[in-house]
Chain A
Amino acid sequence: MIPAGAFLALAAALFALGVLAFFVKRDLLTQFMAVEVMLNAANLAFLALAKASLKADAQAVVIFVLTVAAAEAVVGMSIILLAFRRRKTIRTDDLSGLKG
């Protein structure tokens, strides 16, 4: 029996890795993948807690997250594709059209 704490620690580590990757990497695609890592870290945390508390609520949330993540991946990827087509780059430092 693996204790819930271990799952949580793993989730935290994954999440931290995701954050790190998001800040270190400079292209949109990798950053997007970093976000996915974070999402899944969260999923893991949910599942760990669901298992510990023996309640189904958190599992439902995970399903939601998965669905949203799928949709998000579709939309996000197409945005990245479009951005690349228009700007010929996906380097986020160069994509600053929202500068005030």
Chain B
Amino acid sequence: MARELWLIPLLPALSSAVLLLLGSRLSRRWISLQACLAVLASLALSAAALVRLLGAANGAPPLSGTLFTWVASGSLSVPASLTFDPLTAVMSLVVTGVGLLIHVYSAGYMAGDRDYSRYFGLLNLFTFFMLVLVMASSIVLMFVGWEGVGLCSYLLIGFWFEKPAAARAGMKAFIVTRVGDAAFVLGMLTLVAAVGGPEFARINAAAAAGGLAPWLATLAPVLLFAGAAGKSAQVPLYVWLPDAMEGPTPVSALIHAATMVTAGVYMVARLNGLYSASAVAGPLVASVGAVTAVFAASLALVQTDIKKVLAYSTISQLGYMFIGCGVGAYGAGIFHLVTHAFFKGLLFLAAGSVIHALSGEQDIRKMGGLRRRLPRTFPAFFVAALAISGIPFLSGFFSKDAILTSAYEGGHLAVWLLGLLAAVMTAFYIFRLVFLIFFGEERTDAEVRRHIHESPPVMTVPLAVLAVLSALGGLIGLPAVFGERADLLGRFLAPVLKAAEAPPAAVEWNLILVSTTAAAGGLFLAFLFYLRYPGTPARLAARWPFLYRTLIGKYYVDEFYDAVFVRPLVRGSELVYASFDLAVIDGALNGSAAAAQAAGRGASRLQTGRIKDYALAFLLGAVLFLGFILAWKA
């Protein structure tokens, strides 16, 4: 299996091409079937590759396949080459696995949409680019996937492009991530030039061996991380993700929760050699992650749009993953990436099911009491909520614990504390959602209430599968206190990502206790605020109006960017266009043209039209000329 690896991404690409080009001639049933089958085939091939990988001898090189040399010019040579190592295996299984479930779910969710084929074509295209991203063996090829998923994100956020908000959100997402990507490109190319090739293995090896100049060893990971901060919505480039919720909900689940936004985390983990070698990069990544985790969680506390809450929650959870990678626990970061894909994908899909049931209503203040009306959606959402809160023995508990333990063990106390604070907030905001949506009185509009219905099986079955994964997914990465060999994922990833040191059992238990308390505390607080004493939030808001308004206003970051970057740039350009381009440059040109005309007009007065004047001038000229020659001679 070498070149066959290419089948994994190419099957969805082929399907996408068919759907986008011939979509209008295909039946709706065939469209969804083909899209799902393509992803299923990729999933099966990934699984087959995984089996091969597991069967290979220890220390055997990872599977890889080269199709052809893509770009070759001078010292830059980029082969179109894929690698399938443990990290890729995990990522591609998540992408195709969760992706498949979301494809299936979409068949139901988008059933009424007129652009059915465009939707599935883009979803397949996204799967292709995401697989290229995680399978590429070189950073340049990874960047192909990286930009490709960005494009699909743009197109899918703006899927309903006739809605101005959706169109604007798509554009914002693309441009904001491109800001990070610009830095990424610089870092990438500098790095490639320095190590002499674009392969990850080469970069990691060079960095680990200290083969990079000190400035580069520091600068390159920082520049690359700027790209990651854009793609994975970290402070200060997170602003696009909440707006991205304008897209269809399954898209939010797939792209803006489970897969694409985790690309930054994957990139950092993939380049672990580079990040470990720098004394600055790791702490920077961890700090940005920690700050983002708390910052975004605080915003999730007050949002009233169900998807916006989940979006901020995603940003916050991505912060966690970066904490893991930043403190050197890359395996923990990837572990959280996997469990997050399960429970956050589930949360979004369940939220989609709720929105679907309520005829498009997204405001949680107009929900409530849906527990009985949505008997299959509710338990799914509830399991996911428990998982993300970090309630013991569900998936999120183990992965979050792994990250916090590593942070604590690594001596990053501030990061650990911030992580803990975010954990409290996470439990609070997610159960705020649970209580407001599924418990209490029904606040739905009367018209909406008459149409409430549970979603069809094509949507609820993926929910069930994801619920099981959310509940049990954590068992692949049990902490060391459960036994030497309990951490399956960690051991599997060990050839790529060195496992973090396990702390002493006593410390581990204590940490587990602390984080469980935090989760339970948040949950209980939500219970008090939204179920037991429902008036509390309003009272608090009245008590601290400034704080409340700041949170509702999302710290006014969008406004700040608008006032400091966007508007000055546009206004300034307009000004320069009018004052410099038109006035100075063109003015100079038109001015010289006018001067020439004026001079011509002046000179034309000499033309009297009378022969005698001409003859006189002629005579004078001849005399002068003769005189000059004579004087010259003499």
Contacts and interface: CB of A to CB of B under 8 A. Distances in A.
User: Are any A and B Cβ atoms less than 8 Å apart in their complex?
Assistant: yes
Given A19-B619, A23-B616, A100 B606 contact: yes
Contacts of A31: 611
A99 B616 contact: no
Which of B607, B609, B619 has the most chain A CB within a 10 Å cutoff?
B609
Nearest to A28: B611
A97 interface: yes
Given A19-B619, A23-B616, A99 B611 contact: no
Contact of B609 (A19, A22, A23, A99): A99
Interface residues of B, number: 13
Contact of A100 (B609, B611, B619): B609
Given A100-B604, A100-B605, A95 B611 contact: yes
B75 interface: no
Interface in B585-626: 603-612, 615-616, 619
A92 B616 CA distance: 14
Interface string A75-100: 00000000000000000110111111
A31 B616 CA distance: 13
A22 B612 CA distance: 8
Nearest to A22: B615
Contacts of B611: 31, 92, 95
Contacts of B606: 100
Contacts of B604: 100
Q: By DSSP majority rule, is chain A's interface helix, strand, loop, or mixed?
A: loop
A23 B611 CA distance: 10
A96 B611 CA distance: 8
A22 B611 CA distance: 10
Contacts of A93: 610, 612
B612 A96 contact: no
Contact of A96 (B603, B605, B608, B619): B608
Nearest to B606: A100
B612 A23 contact: yes
Which of B603, B607, B615 has the most chain A CB within a 10 Å cutoff?
B615
A92 B609 CA distance: 9
Interface in B19-45: none
Nearest to A98: B609
Interface string A34-64: 0000000000000000000000000000000
B615 A99 contact: no
B29 to A, nearest CB: 84
Given A19-B619, A92-B612, A99-B610, 18 more contacts: A22-B612, A22-B615, A23-B615, A23-B616, A92-B611, A93-B610, A93-B612, A95-B609, A95-B611, A96-B608, A96-B609, A96-B610, A97-B609, A98-B607, A98-B609, A99-B608, A100-B604, A100-B606
Interface of A: 19, 22-23, 31, 92-93, 95-100
24 contacts: A19-B619, A22-B615, A23-B615, A23-B616, A93-B610, A93-B612, A95-B609, A95-B611, A96-B608, A96-B609, A96-B610, A97-B609, A98-B607, A98-B609, A99-B607, A99-B608, A99-B609, A100-B603, A100-B604, A100-B605, A100-B606, A100-B607, A100-B608, A100-B609
